[in-house]
Amino acid sequence: MNPEVIRLPEALKRTGVSRSTWLAGCKAGRYPRPIKLSERAVGWLASDIERFLAERVAARDAEQAQ
């Protein structure tokens, strides 16, 4: 099975983060890093985005449990 690769607009839609915040976060290591698709194109693995969101939900739930 081929991994699903999503482009920036879809990554932003799924996470609700602004473009500048997302790109800065990727560079700083706070968000999933992109994969290079071609000379001028990058994308993100949908599974990386889903894992990132699941980790954020788990962190929120752990924080509320304390």
pLDDT in tens, 30-58: 999 999 999 999 999 999 999 999 999 99
Domain ranges of the chain: 5-65
Cα distance between residue 8 and residue 43, in whole Å: 7
- Mean of per-residue pLDDT scores for the chain: 95
DSSP-derived 3-state class of residue 44: strand
Enter the tokens of residue 26: 């990727």
- Residue 39 DSSP label: S
DSSP-derived 3-state class of residue 45: strand
pTM: 0.86
